[in-house]
Amino acid sequence: MKEHYRNLVELPGVSGHEKYIRQYMRKNLEILSEKVIQDKLGSIFGIVNENSTGPTVMMAGHMDEVGAMVTEITEKGFIKMIPIGGINPPVVLSQHMNVVLDDGSFCPGVVGAKPPHLLRDETTKQVSTFDDFLLDIGADSKDHAVSLGIKVGQQIVFHNNYTVTKDGKKIISKAWDDRFGSAMALDLLESIQKEELPCKFVAGANVQEEVGLRGAQTSSYMIKPDLFIAVDCSPCSDTFEETEVGGTLGKGFMIRFYDPRAIMHQGMKLFVESVAKKHSIPFQYYKSMGGTDAAQVQLSEDGVVVCTIGMPARYIHSTTSMIHLDDYEAVKKVILEMLKELDFNKINEIKSNV
């Protein structure tokens, strides 16, 4: 896997705080594409084959990750916070988290948990809602915390423990959702042969997906794609229960035939299946209970043909998550092969199968 993946998961960027991710994306998009475009909310894209007479194909990940923001500094110097994106509160207890200061440096801390010694009395409970969590940065008072650089509104990210498993095939890290898709945009731009592209290809990453697909609304207005591919991590349920459509690590990319905000376009489904079969790329069907940027883009202008190419990932929307390198290969390969076929004839054929 290219370095972009690790470089991007290590950076901090909860929704609305994507600056450091965008800087990385811009630096690399400037090298890999003919032109870089950015909308006013901060979503950023590179274009290749800009003068093509073919259709405009847009591909996006999203730059933001789940985390928190500083809402208050208590008199004793602890930090109260609000979650950003959907996080199951118990996973936050006792975790190392970093407040990102205005100069970009990290102020590390730990979310305080009561030891069992203090929980013997039945009336004392371990707190497990965000309202009750206190991030302890070791400040002795509110003034001390302020002098260390803490301010209301700063982002707070989970400390990362990037780990490759013993078999070398899986990687555990925070923010796979969706630095994976952001890095994939760079990876595709690096790998695509312009001569093979029958379309104009616009690849990059949106802001603010985790708080309601906001970035995709404005970026798709700017780009006006004929077809859109979202690349996003989808949660696997295979650790706890295995169903045919619940997502299994290592079984290939996911065809998201249903989620509550987007029923997969039938022509698109046939197209993705045919490309995967033709090139023997492993895939699995996936039913999601969440949405991706594809749901937003499909509703722009008079409608856009979209799909989500899902990357299986365990434990997302917690402090960390796990992906499989074989699935990475499948996601990359299917998109590269799809792009080679996407001329106007193919898009019209897809559209006619609605």
DSSP bridge pairs for 313: 235
Least Å from the CB of residue 57 to Zn ion: 20
Interaction site with Zn ion (CB under 5 A): 177-178, 232
Least Å from the CB of residue 84 to Zn ion: 13
Residue 330 corresponds to which amino acid?
Answer: A
CA distances from 139 to 76, 94, 147, 212 (A): 8, 17, 9, 34
Is 340 in contact with 263 (CB distance < 8 Å)? no
- Is the Cβ of residue 39 or residue 232 nearer to Zn ion in the bound state? 232
- Is the Cβ of residue 178 or residue 327 nearer to Zn ion in the bound state? 178
Least Å from the CB of residue 45 to Zn ion: 17
DSSP bridge pairs for 61: 205
Closest CA to 41 of 183, 182, 220, 181: 220
Active site residue: 209, 210, 242, 341, which one? 209
Q: Which tokens is 210 given? A: 């985790």
Least Å from the CB of residue 288 to Zn ion: 11
Least Å from the CB of residue 234 to Zn ion: 8
**C-beta neighbour count of 212 within 10 angstroms:** 13
Least Å from the CB of residue 314 to Zn ion: 14
Least Å from the CB of residue 232 to Zn ion: 4
* Residue 248, C-beta contacts closer than 8 angstroms, at least 6 positions apart: 236, 238, 242, 284, 312
3-state DSSP: the chain helix, strand, coil percent, rounded to 5?
30, 30, 40
d(CA 70, CA 101): 11
* Residue 29, C-beta contacts closer than 8 angstroms, at least 6 positions apart: 36, 44, 45, 46, 186, 189, 204
Q: Is 209 a catalytic residue?
A: yes
d(CA 139, CA 109): 10
* Residue 246, C-beta contacts closer than 8 angstroms, at least 6 positions apart: 236, 237, 238, 286, 287
**C-beta neighbour count of 84 within 10 angstroms:** 22
Is 250 in contact with 312 (CB distance < 8 Å)? yes
Residues identified as active-site: 209
